[in-house]
Amino acid sequence: MILDILRYAVFGAFAFSGAIALGSWAVRTYRLHRFGPAANLIRRIGDPFLEPIQRHLVQRGANPQHAEWWLVGGTVAGGILLISVATWITSAVMVATTGWRGVVYLAGQAVAWSLLVRVIGSWVGAGRYSKFMRPFYFLTDWIVEPLRKVIPPFGMIDITPFVAYILLQFLLGLFI
């Protein structure tokens, strides 16, 4: 029930951000009269969401005209993350009531999520010594580092987190 409401809320946020992006695009490309009542309404509603993104893009040297699409992409990514975490929490509550096997399964899932965050963090440049990434490296080093000694990297691609994820899922399958 709660997950269904959350899904509808995320879909509503996606539709709202898409409407802001489409309206902002229409005003910027003169599809709507720039000073008409529709354009003023679009700016009044959309600017509080778009201006912080535009400032961030300008500070990073990116094109601020892409802010509306960053808003849509961020809404989609944030919504998927929110629904995934909520689903994980509800399943965690149900599994935790099954005893020690449930606790082992939850710990394994936490390590699996940490592996995913570790990989995505390495893609965006957040390394081992980043304040945000330290806990994820702490949770996953015990399984990744021994594998790294055995599995060589393929050029610039390190597949040890993927192999660690597969191994972890296999081990979790033995417990459940």
Residues 68 and 78 in one domain: yes
Q: Consecutive sets of 10 residues in the chain, 176 residues long: mean pLDDT of each?
A: 90 94 90 87 90 91 89 91 86 75 82 90 84 91 92 84 90 78
DSSP summary character for residue 58: H
Residues 113 and 82 in one domain: no
Task: Please state the length of the chain.
Answer: 176
Query: What is the predicted pLDDT for the residue at 33?
Result: 85
Q: Which residues contact 51 (CB under 8 A, 6 or more apart)?
A: none
Residues 16 and 92 in one domain: yes
pTM score of the predicted model: 0.61
- The model's pLDDT over 145-167, given as tens digits with 9 standing for 90+, comes to 999 999 888 888 888 999 999 99
d(Cα 113, Cα 85) in Å, to the nearest integer? 10
Residues 44 and 126 in one domain: no
Residues 105 and 93 in one domain: no
Query: What is the predicted pLDDT for the residue at 58?
Result: 93
d(Cα 169, Cα 176) in Å, to the nearest integer? 10
DSSP summary character for residue 153: P
Domain residues for the domain of 92 are 1-97
**Tokens, residue 80:** 């998927």
Query: What is the predicted pLDDT for the residue at 145?
Result: 92
Residues 91 and 119 in one domain: no
Query: What is the predicted pLDDT for the residue at 176?
Result: 67
- Type of residue numbered 110: A
Residues 36 and 49 in one domain: yes
CB 27 within 8 A of CB 39: yes
Residues 145 and 135 in one domain: yes
Query: What is the predicted pLDDT for the residue at 142?
Result: 92
Residues 5 and 90 in one domain: yes
Residues 131 and 44 in one domain: no
d(Cα 60, Cα 166) in Å, to the nearest integer? 37
Q: Burial of 24 by CB count in 10 Å (0-12 exposed, 13-18 middle, 19+ buried)?
A: buried
Number of domains in the chain: 2
Q: Which residues contact 30 (CB under 8 A, 6 or more apart)?
A: none
